[in-house]
Structure 1
């Protein structure tokens, strides 16, 4: 199908829906991450000058506070599973608290230990905590890719595909060949596969296919704009808006394609993270017992 040579009067009818501005929660999370990174860097750099001992005084209470934060991490899974606890706040709010405690606990423990360990049980407990904290960072990344913020509302693939179709339909008025390419592309993206490895492979394959289709659509739009009549400034604006639509369309399709892989990876992460967490609790309990007993 040839590109339409329709001339447009006034402003271009193509429009792109803007993404909302960054949420305050994301800004707060970034600030907390920067502060924690600075605290870790400063503590490591001046570890030899820290004026306390892990066994007494401030160092001892830093350890108690860090261990208390670890214990409070259990409140989030309890809040998700025990309906009686709903009076104490929403699940997203507890998730944010869970993330904060999971980030601050290792910092307190590291300061408690003055960024060094002198015994085997302390080494095991600290290593377990750092592994769990690292696992939590990975889980946070996966969670963000699956959900919008921390509202707990999943980005369903069919809704993403509907958004992509809306972008495609806005192109249909003037760039039919680009729409044909998009329809062929969607027919492939809608074909999902089961299984973790097949989903990951499909995500990579789809990303490559989407990139190729995007290049073809861009070439088609540029050719169509050259064939259009009318005012030059209007054609330029139409070209700009159409290319922006194509970019948004392909980004949305990529997100829909990657969703299945991230969901399965998140499920696998859950299977690993929980045993690591309980291993950390056992190691911490042994460390506390050994310190007070011997």
Structure 2
């Protein structure tokens, strides 16, 4: 994880330096060979974004690789393409058609980032299969079974977690209450998970001291391992409750996102074509 943060910092610094060269030092212009080729490469990458929906809908293309690979390419091209076009434009627009094309591209990019965020809540992992309510309920039951040993030591933990589950699934809420619950449920789940984990740790330490009276010493390594397993089970259980409650909302948001993202993509295609024609004609 540390290496990821370091690599991200280095890349961000490098990107900032390149932006400084382009904007402040004016290393090239949009009409120069370098600027033109950056725009061409970025435009082709953006155009290639249409390959992913074609791969999904045209059966004749099924032999051209797995959908996960196409989706990965779609995500990378959706970020790298706009970045190259921004460098092509030197982060400025000097014409109406250029502004329309640039803003259309930014709409598609922002929409894509939002879509990626929503996508991760309705699929197993970033490139996994779409989740169903049965999948989430299965995870919830599995987490509940793994928690049995903790429940035996502290029955009140099970009571509190079940109370959280009942409250999360409480019906007959107003639209405002449902919205507030959706926004705050994951945070409240994390709060109760931390509280329950603290109580589980106390129970494990108490149990270890009781065992030490018979064995002569406290096995700190065993206490630590048992706590980590209990913590993992508690967090997984609370996470499963939140996922089960929120899944239907995320599915609706994902459907609405599709209705917005696709028109943005076509708007980008048309505005990009108009921009290219205008540049070469005038």
What's the TM-score once normalised by structure 1's chain length?
Answer: 0.74
Partner of 1:277: 265
How far apart are the structure 1 equivalents of 2:76 and 2:174? 33
SS in 1 for 2:248: helix
Assess if the C-alpha contact under 8 Å between 1:40 and 1:107 holds in 2. no
Partner of 1:42: 17
Equivalent in 135, 145, 159 of residue 135 of structure 2: 159
Cα offsets for 1:125-176 (capped at 9, x unmatched)? 1121122112111111222232233433123343333323333333334133
Assess if the C-alpha contact under 8 Å between 1:168 and 1:182 holds in 2. no
Q: Count residues with an aligned counterpart.
A: 266
How far apart are the structure 2 equivalents of 1:72 and 1:114? 23
Give 1:74 shift: 0.4
Assess if the C-alpha contact under 8 Å between 2:205 and 2:223 holds in 1. no
How far apart are the structure 2 equivalents of 1:135 and 1:51? 31
Assess if the C-alpha contact under 8 Å between 1:193 and 1:202 holds in 2. no
Structure 2 counterparts to residues 1-294 of structure 1, below 5 A? 37=12, 40-47=15-22, 48-173=24-149, 174=152, 175-189=154-168, 200-204=179-183, 206-207=185-186, 210=189, 214=193, 217=196, 221=200, 229-231=210-212, 233=218, 236=223, 241-294=229-282
Assess if the C-alpha contact under 8 Å between 1:193 and 1:199 holds in 2. no
Please tell me the root mean square deviation across aligned C-alpha atoms, in Å. 3.5
How far apart are the structure 2 equivalents of 1:65 and 1:183? 55
Change (3 A) 1:167 1:103: same
Change (3 A) 1:35 1:144: farther
Assess if the C-alpha contact under 8 Å between 1:43 and 1:115 holds in 2. no
Give 1:178 shift: 2.2
Residue ranges of structure 2 left out of the alignment (5+ in a row): none
Cα offsets for 1:82-138 (capped at 9, x unmatched)? 111011111111111111111111122122222222112112211211221121111
Assess if the C-alpha contact under 8 Å between 1:199 and 1:261 holds in 2. no
What's the TM-score once normalised by structure 2's chain length?
Answer: 0.76
How far apart are the structure 2 equivalents of 1:196 and 1:96? 36
Give 1:73 shift: 0.7
Residue ranges of structure 1 left out of the alignment (5+ in a row): 1-21
How far apart are the structure 1 equivalents of 2:134 and 2:31? 56
Change (3 A) 1:36 1:86: farther
Change (3 A) 1:49 1:223: closer
How far apart are the structure 2 equivalents of 1:211 and 1:56? 53
**Larger proportion of helix:** 2
